[in-house]
Amino acid sequence: MKSILITGGCGFIGANFVRLAIEQLPAARIVNLDKLTYAGNPENLAGLENHPRYRFVKGDICDASLVGRLFAEEGFDCVVHFAAESHVDRSIEGPAEFISTNILGTFTLLEAARKAWKGTVPLKGQSPRFLHVSTDEVYGSLGETGYFTETTPYDPRSPYSASKASSDHLVSAYHHTYGLPVLITNCSNNYGPYQFPEKLIPLIINNALNGKDLPVYGDGKNVRDWLYVVDHCTAILKVLGNGRIGETYNVGGNSEKQNIEVVQTICDILDEKSGLLSSGQPRRSLIRFVKDRAGHDRRYAIDASKISDELGWQPSLAFDEGIRRTIDWYLENSDWISAVLDGSYHTYYQKMYGER
């Protein structure tokens, strides 16, 4: 049986990945190491607590003795590393946590893997593998045309993207220097169930539902390439299974949208599903153009032909369908939104595990 360490499994993408991995990798034991920051919600994995192939460990990836102990106890042959501080706006307000978790935390995991796997590299077959989950933001900002490929030079422009770029470089360096069997994925913007409602799409859905202002930064014409989160998770599974060691794979939705288009689409779908606002106005009337994000990257767009050609991965959902599915999920889980916003979901953790 494979033994997989997943870091940050209580966050948005990590939780979707843990659920998919439990289902799609029936011979894998999964250990989820998560510090439960504001973004980590154990309820995202409700129902798995007593699963025979799942273990949750509350802890910090920067804690070298904890990470080393887990490697010794569990004999991991795979690491899928999601844990990070992930919100650009928070990195502008306070970069320190980003440096600590994203850089030092990644370094701590690399050191633990290097020690645990020493002498076992190179191996025949698939194991071991250290898959580092990263972002398209490391490549900087595009103009009107062009795409990020795996050979685009790094040009991070926020404390968040600089910390992710730094972690990517460490991961690559551990491959080149020590032969650590690493893989890196650089993905575009995700959306879907369990996304903390401070990122654009869940924030707009929640505010639009509650008749609150819809803040659009700058002129609203910044472009992001949107990918449904489960498609990102299937890409990670493909790379984990069949990606070439030492390689980077870009992952994207082939679905570029201006922010204002995304916000208007959400407004229109909610008007259709839930009726107009109590004032009789459509939800587009809530849109407010606000002060721009400092250093706001203008456009991201991914060329995902490498993962498509080598591993046969393609996104399964177009944005039009994915956004409807996402809105339905938030409509059905309004309690989840209130609980994550007021922090009360942590009572679930106390109930299940007896501490916070």
| Site residues, ligand NAD (CB under 6 A) | 7-8, 10-14, 33-37, 39-40, 60-62, 82-86, 101, 105, 133, 135, 164, 187, 189-190, 196
Tell me the backbone φ, ψ of residue 96, rounded to 5 degrees: -55, -45
Determine, following the binding rule CB under 6 A, whether residue 233 of this chain makes contact with ligand DAU.
no
Please indicate whether residue 256 is annotated as part of the active site: no
Catalytic residue among 54, 139, 147, 160: 160
- Shortest Å distance, C-beta 189 to ligand DAU: 4
Under the criterion CB under 6 A, does residue 108 sit at the interface with ligand DAU? Answer: no
With CB cut-offs between 5 and 8 Å by kind, which of ligand DAU, ligand NAD, none does residue 83 bind? ligand NAD
**Position 91 contacts ligand DAU (CB under 6 A):** no
Which listed residue (203, 205, 227, 235) binds ligand DAU by CB under 6 A?
A: 203
Q: Is 137 annotated as catalytic?
A: yes
Phi, psi angles (nearest 5°) of residue 82: -100, -30
CA 187 to chain centre: 9
Q: Which of 34, 43, 60, 137 is catalytic?
A: 137
- Of the two residues 65 and 279, which places its CB atom closer to ligand NAD in the complex? 65
Q: Do residues 263 and 287 make contact, with C-beta atoms less than 8 angstroms apart?
A: yes
| Contact window for ligand DAU (CB under 6 A) among 86-94, 100-108, 268-276, 346-354 | 86-94
Per the annotation, the verdict on 225 as an active-site residue is no
> Which of ligand DAU, ligand NAD, none interacts with 40 (beta carbon under 5 to 8 A by kind)?
ligand NAD
Beta carbons within 8 Å of 313's beta carbon, 6+ residues apart: 234, 235, 238, 251, 304, 307
Instruction: In angstroms, give the least distance from the CB of 87 to ligand DAU.
Output: 5
Q: Which amino acid is at 3?
A: S
CB of 16 to ligand NAD, least distance (A): 8
One-letter amino acid for residue 90 of the chain: R
Residue nearest to ligand NAD according to CB distances in the complex: 11
Nearer to ligand NAD, 47 or 280 (CB): 47
Question: Which residue ranges make up the site for ligand DAU (CB under 6 A)?
Answer: 86-88, 135-137, 188-189, 199-200, 203, 215-217, 222, 224, 259, 293, 300
Q: Catalytic residue numbers?
A: 136-137, 160
